[in-house]
Homo-oligomer: A and B are copies of this chain.
Amino acid sequence: MIVDRNSPVPQYFQIQTWLREQIEQGVFRPEEKVPTEEELVKITGLARATIRQAFANLTNMGYLVRKRRLGTFVTLHSHSSQTKNIVGVIVPDIRSGYTPELARGVEDEAAKNKFSTILCNTDDLFVKADFHADRLLENSIGCVVFVPTAAPDEKNRIIIEKFRKRDVPIVLADRLIPNLDIDYVTTDNFEGAYGLTKYLIEKGHTRIGITLSTLFNTERLRLEGYQKALADSNIPYDPTIVALNDGPFNEKYYLQVARTLLASEKKISAIFAGHDRIAYLIYSVAKKMGISIPNDISLIGYDDLHPTIPNSVSLTTMHQPIYEMGQESLKILISRIKGETTTTQQIVLKSHFVERTSVISRKIT
């Protein structure tokens, strides 16, 4: 039954809601005809005027178009006013890590295409991402750049689905979600980490500690690159010098790991930090502990963040083209909007090695 005559909610409102849901769920598709007034009168047993009121409201809301003699039809364009030249950028926190660089890359490319950029911070939380997704859809944005949150993949898929249902092009940036046919732009984390590890090995390091978070596929790939490089050089993988965190970035955790790894100085000669922020934390702990980088321990990072203080430390790292990642993401979206692209775009940008002075050669023992 569509309408409950005993419900306190008005009957016209009940059919109205029912119809709207049918349309949103695609039961009645755009351009398609919905039942006529008389048909609905028969189905529901309500008066025609009641049906008309529901129809009038939905017409006003842009869901329906009525044509004399022909019937009532679902509107083609997703009933809210035509999509705007706005791109939503959903990131963990505009204040941290590479996020400002990414946002700027998106914004610059957006401005070139006369798009505005709506910024959304999720703090890596699903609820915040969900909140922003609804808000973005309300504003009938044209497309979305999404950095998945630290929530499980299914949760991130819910967000993605929200946009897809409304035919809003979406591209994932940096972090990926496995087994999903979706546009994305990321960097070659596996190859990058492989190269960095190879570099350390070439410099004579055989006992290389590593610490990162396994929550994000980016960092997991770095771990795999590290493992592959060790294996290719016949160096056994030693879990005792690997510190894996399964949550988002956590300063306390890494401070603790840094202390432990640096204290085991005799056991390891180099540390592979999952990304530069971790590397910087290790720097600060090393300084406190009186351990010299690189003289006592070599260190490499990943990302190549701009340090606030130029030349204060000189971290050997892998430069990720974050700004370009933002640009590329938007280019894909624009071509989607223009309908120029139909195949899935999955772009892996090349990172490049930045050799500074946080690594020294070690005599092979």
Contact = CB atoms under 8 A, between A and B. Distances in A.
A84 B139 contact: yes
A128 B128 CA distance: 31
A116 interface: yes
Contacts of A284: 309-312
B309 A312 contact: yes
A281 B283 CA distance: 20
A104 B92 CA distance: 11
Contact of A283 (B86, B104, B120, B309): B309
A111 to B, nearest CB: 7
14 contacts: A56-B56, A85-B138, A94-B107, A104-B121, A111-B132, A118-B119, A276-B308, A277-B308, A280-B310, A281-B310, A305-B308, A308-B308, A309-B309, A312-B313
B308 A306 contact: yes
Interface in A129-179: 131-132, 135-136, 138-139
A116 B104 contact: no
A203 to B, nearest CB: 23
A288 B314 CA distance: 13
Interface in A52-83: 56, 60
A296 interface: no
Interface string A24-59: 000000000000000000000000010000001000
A103 interface: yes
Interface in A306-357: 306-313
Contact of A114 (B49, B100, B135): B135
Interface in A227-274: none
A363 interface: no
- Most interface-central of A84, A104, A306 (chain B CB within 10 A): A104
- Most interface-central of A111, A277, A308 (chain B CB within 10 A): A308
Oligomer: number of copies: 2
A127 to B, nearest CB: 11
Contact of A311 (B119, B128, B288, B310): B288
Interface size of A as a range: 35 or more
B104 A94 contact: yes
A306 B280 CA distance: 13
Interface of A: 49, 56, 60, 84-86, 89, 93-96, 99-101, 103-104, 107-108, 111, 114, 116-121, 128, 131-132, 135-136, 138-139, 276-277, 280-281, 283-284, 287-288, 305-313
Contacts of A128: 111
Listed from nearest, the 5 A-B pairs whose CB atoms lie closest are A280-B309, A95-B100, A119-B119, A307-B308, A284-B310
B120 A136 contact: no
Contact of A100 (B100, B277, B311): B100
A365 to B, nearest CB: 31
Given A100-B94, A309-B309, A118 B117 contact: yes
A114 B120 CA distance: 12
A138 B114 CA distance: 11
A311 B255 CA distance: 13
A99 to B, nearest CB: 8
A308 B49 CA distance: 67
A133 B154 CA distance: 39
B86 A139 contact: yes
A117 B121 CA distance: 10
